[in-house]
Amino acid sequence: MVHAPNRPPPGAPPVRINLYSDTQTRPTPAMKDAMMRAEVGDEQHGDDPTVHELCDRMAALMGKEAAMYLPSGTMCNVVAILTHCQKGDEVVAHETSHILHSEGGTHAALTGVQIMPMRGPKGMFTADELRAAIRPKTRYTPPQRLLEVEQTANIGGGAVWPLAQLNAVAAVAHGEGWATHMDGARLMNACVAAGVAPKDMVASYDSVWLDFTKGLGAPLGAVLCGSNEFIGRAWRWKQRLGGSMRQGGICAAACIYALDHNIDRLAEDHANAKALARGLAQIEGVKVEDPETNLVFFDISGTGMDVARLQEKLQMRGIAVSGLGGRVRACTHLDVTAPMIDEAVTEIRAALKAA
Ligand SMILES: *Cc1c(COP(=O)(O)O)cnc(C)c1O
């Protein structure tokens, strides 16, 4: 059977503090109200006014010509890679990237690209390191075609690529004639944390997408942005993959609501993540990485307990966290309040004491 990552152990109480992921936010009554009132049409046919409004707003926000609504962030990566690349092309991305680890092997199964894994702290690499990864163009080498970066870098600890470094690696890629693609699952967290406008943050990237189901709190959907020409070609892949929808406006309305109400508040999630990290750092044997956004990674190997055991103990206390790359990940989001952070620290301390 395929592993179900968050199935509670038998007898576990309902989850009271959900630090498992920012994907687990529930639409609020106000968001649901916006969904109820959405004007809808046939999205696939180009007739859904609410999807059009979302795409127009996203294109403007990202400073791109066009945008496309898709069911998920994963589909945005798959559609973008299929649109930029041919089978056998090489995509250069960090070794911790989502496209390598968390898309079910889709790039072997469907897109047919190979991915060159780059090393470097916090899910990032430098322009010099990228230059060193450029292959000679011979009949032996795979054609390098695309640079892919994650902003923020998820397994990199929710770290924010500095704007100058984003631009520098993109310049190397463009100098080689490659395209550039940004996985912006948590792009707004990066923009809020760095105080950089989205269109400046993504200016060097030919395509970029934003997930509405992470910290933005919508139930479904992600928007891929790029040039008219790129989005025009991407539509064929959306159709082929079954990503064309019908009355998608119901969900697009939740995304529009999120654009209006849930961006500035990401700063609260970042403050809560910092408070959580400060609290965890006081626990003996716990090593915490200083969070830049809403993801807090900590190492408990000094406590004698392993990640799965801690997860289970916390679930019995009504608290959910995830395990990622041998570390524990706790994620703050709009359903997590400051008092919950204090309580989570107390519970984690107690669970670890029982080691
Ligand atoms: C969540 C995530 C994705 C995939 O998004 P889904 O909407 O879950 O398909 C891609 N990249 C990163 C960095 C993510 O965190």
Q: Minimal CA–CA distance to 320: which of 101, 24, 26?
A: 24
The average confidence (pLDDT) of the chain is 96
Percent of the chain residues past pLDDT 90, beyond the cut = 95
pLDDT at position 104 over 80: yes
How many whole angstroms from its chain centre is CA 128? 26
Mean pLDDT of 64-84: 98
The pLDDT of residue 156 is: 94
Question: Does ligand 1 come within 6 angstroms of the Cβ of 71?
Answer: no
Q: Which atom of ligand 1 is nearest to the CA of 77?
A: 10
User: pLDDT tens digits for 204-241?
Assistant: 999 999 999 999 999 999 999 999 999 999 999 999 99
User: pLDDT tens digits for 9-28?
Assistant: 788 899 999 999 999 999 99
Mean pLDDT of 48-70: 98
Mean pLDDT of 68-92: 98
Could you tell me if 73 and 207 are in contact, meaning their C-beta atoms sit under 8 angstroms apart? no
Percent of the chain residues past pLDDT 70, beyond the cut = 97
What is the spatial distance between Cα 255 and Cα 43, in angstroms, rounded to a whole number?
A: 15
Bond into 23 cis (ω within 30): no
Question: Does ligand 1 come within 6 angstroms of the Cβ of 31?
Answer: no
What is the spatial distance between Cα 116 and Cα 95, in angstroms, rounded to a whole number?
A: 8
109, two tokens: 């199964």
End-to-end alpha carbon distance in the chain: 30
Q: How confident is the model at residue 1 (pLDDT cuts 50, 70, 90)?
A: very low
Mean pLDDT of 23-39: 96
Q: How confident is the model at residue 117 (pLDDT cuts 50, 70, 90)?
A: very high
The pLDDT of residue 2 is: 53
Out of 78, 102, 115, 210, mutate this one to test ligand 1's pocket (max ligand atoms within 8 Å of CB): namely 102
pLDDT at position 130 over 90: yes
User: pLDDT tens digits for 270-309?
Assistant: 999 999 999 999 999 999 999 999 999 999 999 999 999 9
Question: Does ligand 1 come within 6 angstroms of the Cβ of 269?
Answer: no
Q: Which atom of ligand 1 is nearest to the CA of 97?
A: 13
Question: Does ligand 1 come within 6 angstroms of the Cβ of 146?
Answer: no
Could you tell me if 243 and 69 are in contact, meaning their C-beta atoms sit under 8 angstroms apart? no
